[in-house]
């Protein structure tokens, strides 16, 4: 929970790892590495900066929270630097600080993520601390209670935040009676019931070699990485014990739900069934989303809702393909008296896009931006590691970086029109608003 960094490490983390002479991200070489113990990883070597970044993910995430223990994975992420092996929480964190090491964990619906950044000089000590954290966390009672108190305080704060209330209630609305619909941070009751034994049981079920993805970037070669992989992950169980998470679609028929909260500004989210990452239409949907609401001030929704009508400061959309569900979603925040009109404009623009498709200029500009900006995702070691881990998770292949821009450039305006009709089912839109919006009430189509 407590993460300590030094100025030297933070400065090195932000240094560019590659100087691209072209806008192509494939200026780097990605190696497939297999450790002596059989653990696979991707590696990008760069020895000019004395820093190593490691990213890894275990399939599972908070969808694997035990029944009645919502918030368990989130709790786990707060405990991973709270003592391991023979080191108490204070000793462990002091050891991290002494070597300018950065270690972090976070959870999502489908994954529990970990990261390590260290100076090459301190690699062996940093790797040993990571090994202890993953294989021998202590979960001491005093540390569990301290972190629990912090999490309960966070929940109390979240209950007063319209954005956080919206995130929690919207998930429950979209995925009733499904693991994706449970509160990822838990409730006061469920978090209060979590014990060190619960945390250890989760770790034993989820931390395994079968559901592990790993990427390393920086000042390390393939042979050394193989040793590191076996040291950190080699003692984990061969196979995870994951509970199957069934595929789920959003409730049919469309609806609008208002959650009243006495605040001057309402916040809203909307969603409709999306397109999976492996669907042949995903890239077209990705380009389409850039036009609709993913392109910031260049997007259609921003133009219509904010620029032309001044209804909201921000409006956006995104694609969210998960392992068991996929949605096209978005959100808007505005004054209570302007939320109804904002929703009306969003509905209208999505329907117009479905009926007419984008303009030629929108099509050309979106492809140009998405291909031209791709290299910016690879200009530091940490960004490279994050991108490659995501490519691994989506099983897109080690050559995806080289192919990605060509896939976007191949999208025609007819592709976008076809996918817009498929994706933007305005009669199926699900909206949720938190606040006191004027002239809006919960309804179902």
pLDDT digits over 49-67, tens only? 999 999 999 999 999 999 9
Whether the pLDDT of residue 26 is over 70: the answer is: no
Pair 388, 404: CB distance under 8 Å = no
For helices 141-158 and 72-79, angle between their N-to-C axes, nearest 10 degrees? 120
Residue bearing the bigger pLDDT, 441 or 119: 119
- Residue-level pLDDT at 442: 85
Q: Are residues 317 and 228 in the same domain?
A: no
The first and second tokens of residue 250, run together, are 């959003």
Q: Are residues 218 and 307 in the same domain?
A: no
Over residues 23-31, the mean pLDDT reads 68
- In-domain check, residue 74: yes
- In-domain check, residue 388: no
Q: Are residues 220 and 267 in the same domain?
A: no
Whether the pLDDT of residue 444 is over 90: the answer is: no
Q: Are residues 112 and 12 in the same domain?
A: yes
- In-domain check, residue 432: yes
Q: Are residues 100 and 166 in the same domain?
A: yes
Residue where one domain finishes, among candidates 163, 198, 233 = 233
Q: Are residues 296 and 193 in the same domain?
A: no
Whether the pLDDT of residue 22 is over 90: the answer is: no
Residue where one domain finishes, among candidates 170, 201, 233 = 233
- Residue-level pLDDT at 28: 87
Strand order in the sheet with 51-59: 31-34, 40-45, 212-218, 51-59, 111-119, 102-107
Strand pairing report for 443-444 and 31-34:
unpaired
Q: Are residues 159 and 213 in the same domain?
A: yes
* Secondary structure element (H or E) that encloses residue 105, with its range: strand 102-107
Pair 269, 400: CB distance under 8 Å = no
- Residue-level pLDDT at 331: 98
Cα separation, 130 vs 235, in Å, equals: 13
- In-domain check, residue 40: yes
Tell me what percent of the residues of the chain surpass a pLDDT of 90.
92
Whether the pLDDT of residue 302 is over 50: the answer is: yes
Q: Report DSSP state, residue 221.
A: -
Residue pointed to by tokens 């940490």: 382
For helices 282-289 and 360-372, angle between their N-to-C axes, nearest 10 degrees? 100
State how far Cα 118 lies from the chain centre: 23
What is the pTM assigned to this prediction? 0.92
- In-domain check, residue 241: no
- In-domain check, residue 127: yes
6-18 pLDDT per residue, tens: 333 434 444 444 3
Q: Are residues 403 and 356 in the same domain?
A: yes
- In-domain check, residue 239: no
SS3 274: coil
Over residues 163-182, the mean pLDDT reads 98
Strand order in the sheet with 443-444: 314-321, 326-335, 265-273, 430-435, 255-260, 443-444
Vertex 389: Cα angle to 371 and 363 (nearest 5): 20
Over residues 211-227, the mean pLDDT reads 98
Cα separation, 270 vs 315, in Å, equals: 11
CA separation, residue 329 to residues 292, 294, 340 (Å):
11, 10, 18
Pair 217, 385: CB distance under 8 Å = yes
- In-domain check, residue 248: no
Whether the pLDDT of residue 445 is over 70: the answer is: no
Q: Are residues 221 and 262 in the same domain?
A: no
Whether the pLDDT of residue 159 is over 70: the answer is: yes
Vertex 175: Cα angle to 169 and 181 (nearest 5): 55
Alpha helices, DSSP H, located in 394-438: 400-409, 413-423
Reduced DSSP (H G I as helix, E B as strand, rest coil) percent helix, strand, coil of the chain, to 5: 45, 20, 35
Cα separation, 234 vs 12, in Å, equals: 29
Residue 61: CATH number of its domain: 3.30.830.10
Residue where one domain finishes, among candidates 178, 201, 233 = 233
Q: Are residues 224 and 296 in the same domain?
A: no
Domains contained in the chain, number: 2
Vertex 405: Cα angle to 403 and 406 (nearest 5): 65
Residue bearing the bigger pLDDT, 402 or 441: 402
pLDDT-wise least confident of 1-15, 297-311, 357-371: 1-15
**Residue 229, domain extent:** 7-233
249-292 pLDDT per residue, tens: 999 999 999 999 999 999 999 999 999 999 999 999 999 999 99
Strand partners, 215: 42, 55
108-156 pLDDT per residue, tens: 999 999 999 999 999 999 999 999 999 999 999 999 999 999 999 999 9
Cα separation, 247 vs 179, in Å, equals: 10
Q: Are residues 160 and 28 in the same domain?
A: yes
């Amino acid at each position: 929970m407590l993460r300590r960094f030094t100025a030297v490490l933070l400065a090195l983390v932000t240094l560019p790892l590659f100087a691209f002479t072209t806008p192509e991200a494939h200026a780097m070489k990605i190696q497939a590495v297999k450790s002596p113990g059989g653990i696979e990883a991707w590696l990008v070597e760069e020895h000019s900066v004395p820093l190593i970044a490691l990213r890894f993910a275990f399939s599972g995430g908070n969808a694997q929270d035990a029944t009645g223990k919502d918030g368990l994975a989130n709790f786990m992420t707060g405990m991973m630097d709270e003592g391991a092996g023979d080191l108490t929480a204070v000793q462990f964190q002091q050891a991290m600080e002494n070597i300018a090491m950065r270690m972090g964990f976070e959870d999502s619906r489908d994954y529990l993520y970990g990261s390590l950044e260290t100076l090459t000089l301190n690699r062996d000590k940093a790797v040993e601390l990571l090994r202890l954290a993953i294989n021998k966390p202590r979960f001491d009672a005093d540390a569990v209670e301290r972190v629990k108190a912090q999490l309960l305080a966070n929940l109390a704060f979240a209950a007063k935040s319209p954005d956080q209330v919206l995130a929690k209630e919207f998930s429950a609305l979209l995925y009733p009676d499904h693991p994706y619909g449970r509160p990822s941070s838990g409730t006061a009751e469920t978090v209060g019931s979590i014990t060190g034994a619960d945390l250890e049981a989760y770790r034993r079920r989820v931390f395994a070699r079968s559901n592990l993805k790993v990427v390393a970037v920086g000042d390390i070669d393939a042979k050394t990485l193989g040793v590191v992989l076996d040291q950190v992950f080699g003692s984990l169980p061969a196979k995870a014990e994951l509970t199957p998470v069934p595929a789920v679609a959003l409730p049919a028929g469309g609806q609008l739900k208002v959650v009243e909260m006495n605040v001057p500004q309402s916040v809203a989210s909307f969603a409709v069934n999306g397109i999976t990452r492996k669907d042949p239409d995903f890239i077209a949907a990705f380009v389409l989303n850039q036009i609709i609401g993913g392109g910031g001030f260049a997007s259609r929704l921003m133009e219509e809702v904010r620029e032309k009508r001044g209804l909201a400061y921000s409006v956006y959309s995104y694609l969210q393909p998960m392992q068991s569900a996929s949605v096209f979603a978005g959100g808007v925040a505005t004054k209570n008296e302007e939320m109804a009109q904002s929703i009306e404009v969003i509905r209208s623009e999505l329907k117009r896009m479905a009926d007419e498709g984008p303009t030629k200029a929108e099509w050309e500009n979106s492809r140009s931006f998405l291909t031209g900006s791709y290299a910016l995702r690879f200009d530091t070691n940490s960004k490279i590691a994050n991108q490659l881990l995501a490519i691994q998770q989506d099983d897109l292949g080690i050559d995806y970086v080289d192919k990605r821009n060509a896939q976007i450039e191949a999208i025609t305006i007819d592709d976008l029109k076809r996918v817009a009709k498929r994706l933007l089912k305005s009669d199926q839109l699900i909206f949720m608003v938190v606040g006191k919006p004027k002239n809006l009430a919960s309804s179902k189509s």
